[in-house]
Chains A and B, each alone.
Chain A
Amino acid sequence: MGDRTDVWQGTLALMVLKTLEMMGPQHGYGIARRIEQTSESLLSLNYGTLYPALLKLEQEGAIVSDWGVSENNRRAKFYKLTRAGRKQLEKEARNWQQATAILNRFLSPAEEQS
C-alpha cells in the first residue's frame, strides 16, 4: 500500500465529525466511503475501525444515532451531529489548523521569508 497512509488515531474522530457536518445525517458505510473519497484514496481505512470511533463519539455526546432507510431503501443506522458535536468540531478543527500552521512554518521556512 506504498503511498496510502494509515489513519492516525484521533484524527479519525475529527474526520467523522467534519464529514457529518458536510453531509448531514449519514450511516457508517456512507461516512467511510466519504472519508476515502475526500482523501482521494490516499488513506487506507478498514471500515470496521470506524464503528468504535462512532461509538466513542456517541458516548461523548458529540453525535446521536437512529435507525432509518438509505437512499436505495436499505435499513441503516444514521448518525447526526449534535450541538455539542458541532462545538467540538469547531474547537478541534481550529486546534488542528493551528498545529499544522505552526508545523508548516518549521517545514517550509523559505516561504515565510519572501
Chain B
Amino acid sequence: MSALRQLRAWLLRLSGIFRRTPNHAFSDEIESHLQLHIDDNIRLGMSPEQARREAVLQLGGIELTTQHYRERATLPGLDDFMQDLRFALRQLRRNPGFTATAAIMLALGIGASVAIFAFVDAALLKPLPYRDPARIASVTETVAIMGRADLSYPDYLDWKRLNNVFSSLDIYGGGGGLLNTSTGALPVSSLRVSDGFFRTLGVTPILGRDFYAGEDLLGTPNTVILSYAGWQKWLHGRADVIGQKVTLDGIPTVVVGVLPQDFDFAPRGGTQFWLPFHAKGQCDLRRSCHGLEGIARLKDGVSMQAASDEMKAIAAQLEKQYPADNRGQGAAVDPLSEIIVGVVRPILLTLLAAAGLLLTIACINVSSLLLVRSESRRKEIAIRGALGASRTRLVRQFLTEGVLLVTLGSVLGLGMAAFAMRAITGPIPELMMSRVPFLVGLRLNTHILMFAAGVALIAAFLFALTPVLRLPLAAMRDGLADGGRGSASTFWRRFGSNLVVLELTIAVVLLVCAGLLTKSFYRLLHVDLNFQPDHLAMVGVMAPDSLYPKDENVVVLQKQIIARVAALPGVLSVGLTTVPPTSFNGNTNWIRVVGHPYHGEHNEVNFRNVSGDYIRTLQASLLRGRLFTDVEDASKQKVVIINKELARMYFPGEDPIGKKMGNNELTPDSIREVIGVVDDIREGSLDSQIWPAMYDPIYQDESNYFTLMVRTSQSPGSLLPTLVSTINAIDPGVGTADPMTLEQRISEGPSNYLHRSTAWLVGTFAVLALVLGAVGLYGVIAYSVSQRTREIGVRMALGAQRNSVYRLVMREALRLSVLGIGIGLICAVGAATLMRSLLFATAAWDATTLASVTALLGGCALLASYIPAHRAASVNPVEALRSE
C-alpha cells in the first residue's frame, strides 16, 4: 500500500521533469496565498505595503518556496541530467558534421567488433551442447603421413576393453545413405554409431528412446534415431513417428527416437539419420581398415593428458601384437571442442584482433575530434564556470556528451553488426556450414549485447575523460583571456600527433595482414591442380547394396550411365572415380613394391578407382606409359596408374613402368602392374601437400558409391539437371548427390572458403582503417594549420615564399607518417608471424606486400596533408593578421 503510494508519487515526479507548466501554476497559487494573507493583515489594520511584507516573511520567501516546491515536483538529480542531456543534444545537433562523423566512425568500430565477437562467442565461448562437454574427448589413431587418422573397428574394441581412463568410449563412422521417398531415392546424411554414443555425449532423445546396450551388434533389428531436422523434414514432425518404418538403402528401418532440436554433432554436422553400428562387411571386421572416429568421456579425476598417455601405451601394445596391421598406428586423445573449433580458432582470433584495432582507430579519431572541439569550447566552459557551474557539473556535462555520442554510435553499430552477421553467415556454402553448425541461426543475444555494452562503456569513459583531462578546471579563468591559446595548442600538437602515429601504425598492421592474406588466397587459387578445372561437371552416384549386391551389377550400371551421358549434347568425355579431385587426401592404401626391400612399414598412398576415360576427362597429362581402357575389367591382368609423387617416392631412379606392386603383405590378388605415370592431380584441398596416389581400373575393384565427372563444351553448370535426370531415368532407386561444377566445388571447399572470407574481412577492416587513419592525419594537420594561421600570415608578410609554407606544413606530416609507417611495418611483421598458420605460400615479411602498403599509406598520408598545406600556402597574410 505504502510502497504503491511512493511509486505513484515517484512516477508523477518523473513525469514532472518533462512538464514545463507546474512552475507557472504554482506562482499563481503563491500569489493567491499572499493575497489571502494580505487581506487578513489589512483587516488587522496594517498598511498594504506592510501587509505584503509580513505575508512574504511568514511564507519564508517566494523564491525559496518555489524552489522547494519544484524539487518536490520533479526528481532533482534526474532533472539536472535531463538538462545536461538536452544541452548535449543541442551541442550535437548544432554540429551535424561532427556528430555524423563521430557516430559513423564509432559505429564502424563497434559494429565490426561486435559482429566478430558474435562469431567468437558462438564458436569459442559457448560450450558445446552436451553434458559437461569439457570431459568429452575425441579419440583416434594416428599415422605418420597425416597425424590424426581414422580408427578401425577391431582396434576400437580392444581400446574399449583395455583402457581404464574413460567411463565410456564410442565410435561413429560412415556417411551418406539413400532414403526411399515418393519421388525416388534421395541421398541423406547418416552416421553409424556405437550403442552408447548419445550417452557419452550426454544427450537424451526428446521422443522415443536411446539405443540400448548391445543394439549396435549384428543381428539386432534395424533401428534409427532421427535428428530433429530430419524428423521435421522427412516425417513432417509427426508425434506418432516412433515405431514407424523408413527405408534406408533399401532396408526397412524402425524409428526409435528423435533427438532434441539444439543437438548437433559438429564433426559430422547436419547428420539426420543415426544408425546403430552393426559391424559387417569386409572393412568393419578388418583391423587394417580405418574408417571410424571415437569419442569418449573421461573418468572423474582423469586428465586429458593421462588419458592420452594410456591410449598411446595401449596402441603400442597392439602394435606389438599385430605387427602387420598396426605398424605405426598411434593414438591421439584431444578435447572434442579442439577438434570442432581448432580450425576456426586462429581465424576468429585474428579477425577479433583486427576488429579491435579498427575500433581503437575509430576511438582515437573520435577522441581527437573531441579534443579539437574542447579547444574551441574553452571559452564556453570558462563562462559556465564563472557563472557558478560546479566542477562536477562541468565534468558531468562532458560525460553526458560522451555517453550520448557513444549511445548513438552503439545503436548504429549494433545495426551494422546485425547486418554484417547476416551478410557473413548468409553465403556460407553448405560444405562449410556443416562443419560449423554452431554458426547456424547466429543472431544478437545477451552475451553479444553485454559485450557491446562493455565496449560502449569503455568508449564513453574514454570520450568523457579526454576533454576533462584536457581542461584542467583550475585554470578555467585562463580560458576567458584570448591569449591563453599558445600553451593549449602545444599540448594538443604533441598529444594529438602521438595519437596519429598510433593510428598510422595500426593502419599499417591491418593493411599488411590484409595484403598477406589476399596474397595467400591468390596463391591458393593459382596452386597447380595439374588438370583442367573448367568445363567439368560432377555428380555423386549411390547404388544401394540392396539393389546392386554384386560387382557385376554395378559394372552394368556404370557402363549404362557412361553410355547415356556420353550421348548427351555438349558432352566431350565422361569419367568415373571413387573420390573426386580437390576433395581430400585420404582413403589410402598401404603399398609394397615387388622386389624392393621392405621392413613392414606402412607406405600410405591415396587410392582411387577410376574409369578408363577419367584421366583423359580431367585432361591431366600422362607422363609415361599408357592409360588403361574400359575393357580391362576383373577378367584381365590387374593394372595400376601411379602419380609422379608415388614414382618419385617409391621408384627413385628407376622406370616404374612394368614394375609390380601390391599390399603390404603382397597378397597374390593385390599384385598390380604399373602401366602409366600421370601428373600429380590435386586430390586434397588446395592448401594441402601432394600425396603419392594410385589409380586402379574401377571395373577391377568395385564400389557402390562413385562420382561421375563430365567434360563439357558448353557451360558445365547448365548440364547438371540433365545429368541428374539421366541417371534417375536409368534407375530411380539410384541416388544422386551434390551435382555441381568442379570450379564450384573448389570455391566452396572449406579451405578455399576460409582463406577467402578471412582475406575479405581483414581486407575490409584494413580499408576502413586506411580511411580512418587518413582522416585522422588530415584532422591533425588541418587543425594545426588552423591554429597557426596567424604565424603563417606573419611569416608570409615578412617575405616567406609559398614553397616554404608548404615545406613547413608537409614536414610535420612527413615526420608523423614516417614514424607511423616505420613502427607499423615492424609491428606488422610481428603480427603476421603470429598469424602464420593462416598464410599459404607467403612469408610474413613478404617484401612486395610491405612495399605496396608503404606506398599506399604514404600516398594517402601525403594527400591527407597536402590539402591543409595547400590551404595554408594560400593564406592571404593581410586576412590572416586581421582575423585576430
- Give the residues from 26 to 47 in chain B that come closer than 8 angstroms, CB to CB, to chain A: 26, 28-30, 32-33, 35-37, 39-40
Beyond A55-B73, A59-B8, is A48–B68 a contact (Cβ under 8 Å)?
yes
How far in angstroms is the closest Cβ of chain A from B59?
5
| Residue A72 CB within 8 A of the other chain | yes
A-B CB contacts (within 8 Å), total count: 72
| Residue A51 CB within 8 A of the other chain | yes
| Residue A61 CB within 8 A of the other chain | yes
Partner pick for B69 among A55, A74, A77, CB 8 A cutoff: A55
The residues of B that contact A4 with a CB separation of less than 8 Å are none
| Residue B13 CB within 8 A of the other chain | yes
Beyond A47-B59, A49-B60, is A55–B32 a contact (Cβ under 8 Å)?
no
Contact pattern, A 57-86, Cβ under 8 Å of B = 1, otherwise 0 = 001111000000010101111000000100
How far in angstroms is the closest Cβ of chain B from A1?
13
Per the bound structure, the CA–CA distance linking A30 and B39 in Å amounts to 12
User: Is the CB–CB distance between A51 and B37 below 8 Å?
Assistant: no
How far in angstroms is the closest Cβ of chain B from A29?
4
How far in angstroms is the closest Cβ of chain A from B21?
14
| Residue B61 CB within 8 A of the other chain | yes
User: Is the CB–CB distance between B58 and A47 below 8 Å?
Assistant: yes
The residues of B that contact A105 with a CB separation of less than 8 Å are none
Partner pick for A48 among B5, B59, B71, CB 8 A cutoff: B59
User: Is the CB–CB distance between A52 and B64 below 8 Å?
Assistant: no
| Residue A25 CB within 8 A of the other chain | no
How many interface residues does A have (CB within 8 Å)?
A: 25
Per the bound structure, the CA–CA distance linking A92 and B68 in Å amounts to 25
Majority secondary structure of chain B interface residues (helix, strand, loop or mixed): helix
The residues of A that contact B65 with a CB separation of less than 8 Å are 48-49, 51
Per the bound structure, the CA–CA distance linking A28 and B29 in Å amounts to 9
Per the bound structure, the CA–CA distance linking A29 and B12 in Å amounts to 24
User: Is the CB–CB distance between A52 and B32 below 8 Å?
Assistant: no
The residues of B that contact A47 with a CB separation of less than 8 Å are 33, 37, 58-60
The residues of B that contact A62 with a CB separation of less than 8 Å are 5
| Residue B9 CB within 8 A of the other chain | yes
Per the bound structure, the CA–CA distance linking A51 and B32 in Å amounts to 13
User: Is the CB–CB distance between B29 and A77 below 8 Å?
Assistant: yes
Partner pick for B5 among A29, A49, A61, A70, CB 8 A cutoff: A61
User: Is the CB–CB distance between B6 and A70 below 8 Å?
Assistant: no
Per the bound structure, the CA–CA distance linking A57 and B64 in Å amounts to 20
User: Is the CB–CB distance between A52 and B59 below 8 Å?
Assistant: no
User: Is the CB–CB distance between A59 and B12 below 8 Å?
Assistant: yes
The residues of A that contact B26 with a CB separation of less than 8 Å are 51
How far in angstroms is the closest Cβ of chain A from B169?
70
| Residue A97 CB within 8 A of the other chain | no
Contact surface of B with A, Cβ cutoff 8 Å: 5-6, 8-9, 12-13, 26, 28-30, 32-33, 35-37, 39-40, 58-61, 64-65, 68-69, 71-73
Return 27 A-B CB contacts under 8 Å, by A number.
A27-B33, A29-B32, A29-B33, A29-B36, A46-B58, A46-B60, A48-B60, A48-B64, A49-B60, A51-B29, A51-B65, A51-B68, A52-B68, A52-B69, A52-B71, A56-B72, A59-B9, A59-B72, A60-B5, A60-B9, A61-B5, A62-B5, A70-B36, A74-B36, A75-B32, A77-B29, A77-B32
Which 9 pairs across A and B sit closest by C-beta, in order of nearness? A48-B65, A46-B60, A48-B60, A59-B9, A52-B72, A60-B5, A29-B36, A48-B59, A59-B12
